[in-house]
A and B are shown apart, each in its own frame.
Chain A
Amino acid sequence: MKRFFDTELEQFRSHLMLMGETAIRQVRDALKALVDVDVALADRVIAADDELDRLEMEIDDEAIRYMNLRAPVATELRLVIVGMKASHDLERVGDECTTIAKRAVRLAAEPPLKPYVDIPRMANIAIEMLREAMECFLHGDTEKALAIVRRDAEVDAINKQLYRELTSFMIERPATTTRALELMFISKSLERIADHACNIAEEMVFLAKAQDIRHREELKKS
């Protein structure tokens, strides 16, 4: 039986999907702005963060309204809870993109420290994790969600490797310190984006199966 307020849930789902797509686009553009030394694109990424902030507030408002007036239970209740949490994660992804874009602008004013290899690799994994997490939202595929959680270790490893490499740069050539630090923070931002993708994946397991898999370290081992 269709209920007169079912469209509210459809809209809620659509907004979350839109937020996911926007966040993924922001990561992609932030990376492109860095790699292509495109200051104009970096500025657009910074400006576009408002869109994610607005969507998060809209989703929160819809969720609170739905809980208040429609008293959801079961899948609907989980959807509303997960929607609020996932939108918060996506908003934080947007914040990390803003950080990356701002640092890309600063780096654009200086000669490149080294060719970008690991950072695009990290960014692409993080983007893929985010995209798959949003697919899990659409299809309720918990196996895929668990694979995302496991993949986080890959990003963490690259981040650590970059940290070591950039530390060596700074020791050997102190003049590179500013640029190396910018890249370290960018790497950390990408690592955080992957963490948010993991959070979303975990939330999708809760949505599909009502099981809380957070802080289960054994899941991260393949």
Chain B
Amino acid sequence: MVTDISSSKTTPHMETPAAPATFKVNVPSSSTKLPATTGTLIDIDNLDFYYGAKQALFDVNLKLDDKRVTAFIGPSGCGKSTLLRCLNRMNDLIDGTEVKRGSIKIRGVDIYGKNVDAIELRKRVGMVFQKSNPFPKSIYENIAYGLRIQGQNNKVRLDEIVEKSLRGAALWEEVKDRLHESGLGLSGGQQQRLCIARTIAVSPEVILMDEPCSALDPIATAKVEELIHELKKEFTIIIVTHSMQQAARCSDKTAFFYMGKLIEYDDTRTIFMNPSNPQTEAYVSGRFG
């Protein structure tokens, strides 16, 4: 890779050189380079989003890669959770919300198109919330419930999927002997992993995670983060987090939002090592927000 040193970025703490550099240097490619992605899965184009009269997202343009973890970061009210909820049309459930301009395409299909069924969309784009929300049912039924609604009533098949999903959520070993006990009896971290198991049981393409570890202790957080790392082999994951360290640890790409605008989107390593925008630098360094 050839990098033009003269085109490098400025930071708020460094003065730019007076004279432009006149040569290029070869920068060896990173040893931590990711395996090839199959390309863009989600294409957000010129998106303007409103809560009633109040505009929450301004002209957001973003391409999210398949089988990658993308972190949305930014101060409270910056629009990151709003955008996340746009991706499976969860905002439809709030009165007065509207995409006034732009589009969100998943595999080329506009998810706000007239013929798109939001329920079907949410099967493809699952969601894990800030606070774990298992159904007041058994651990087994928490997983099987969605499958039954989809018409899967074969007991053997259900057993298989329940086990596979719980294994996928790294919960199987902890709950395999009490599958028919209430999901509400699990610890907070286990409940959150149960919700992740429930999400992956219906084989979505995308998993949206809205601050999934904010209510968890460090050990439960580490387990969820480990899980995210495993899940990205099969799923595309988008995570909203207020933890800079979590974004740095878990994600391949990071998008920084501020006041409804996408400020910077780049490889996570770049965002945390050499961001282009001084606002990004200030935010990830904890200087504002």
Which chain A residues have a beta carbon within 8 Å of chain B's beta carbons? 1-3, 71-79, 139-144, 146, 205, 207-213, 216, 218-219
Do most interface residues of chain A lie in helix, strand or loop, or is the interface mixed?
A: helix
Contact A73 B25 (CB under 8 A): no
Least Cβ distance of B288 to chain A in Å? 5
Do most interface residues of chain B lie in helix, strand or loop, or is the interface mixed?
A: loop
Q: Which residues of A contact B25 (CB under 8 A)?
A: 211, 213, 216, 218-219
Known pairs A1-B282, A74-B285, A79-B13 / 8 extra A-B pairs, C-beta < 8 Å: A72-B285, A73-B284, A75-B13, A75-B285, A142-B5, A142-B21, A207-B14, A216-B26
With A74-B11, A74-B274, A75-B13 known as contacts, the answer to whether A3 contacts B287 (CB < 8 A) is yes
Contact A1 B288 (CB under 8 A): yes
A71 to B18, CA, bound (A): 32
Least Cβ distance of B274 to chain A in Å? 3
Q: Which residues of B contact A2 (CB under 8 A)?
A: 287
Partner of A1, one of B13, B273, B287: B287
A3 to B287, CA, bound (A): 7
Contact B14 A74 (CB under 8 A): no
User: Which B268-289 residues have a C-beta within 8 angstroms of A?
Assistant: 272-275, 281-282, 284-288
A9 to B15, CA, bound (A): 18
A213 and chain B: residue at smallest CB distance: B25
Q: Which residues of B contact A213 (CB under 8 A)?
A: 5, 25
Contact B8 A3 (CB under 8 A): no
Least Cβ distance of B143 to chain A in Å? 37
A2 to B285, CA, bound (A): 11
With A139-B15, A141-B15, A143-B17 known as contacts, the answer to whether A211 contacts B284 (CB < 8 A) is no
A143 and chain B: residue at smallest CB distance: B17
User: Which B236-289 residues have a C-beta within 8 angstroms of A?
Assistant: 244-245, 248, 272-275, 281-282, 284-288
With A1-B287, A212-B27, A216-B26 known as contacts, the answer to whether A75 contacts B11 (CB < 8 A) is yes
A5 and chain B: residue at smallest CB distance: B286
Q: Which residues of B contact A219 (CB under 8 A)?
A: 23, 25
Least Cβ distance of A48 to chain B in Å? 31
Contact B17 A142 (CB under 8 A): yes
Partner of A211, one of B5, B15, B244, B272: B5
B152 contacts the other chain (CB 8 A): no
Contact A140 B285 (CB under 8 A): no
Contact B11 A73 (CB under 8 A): no
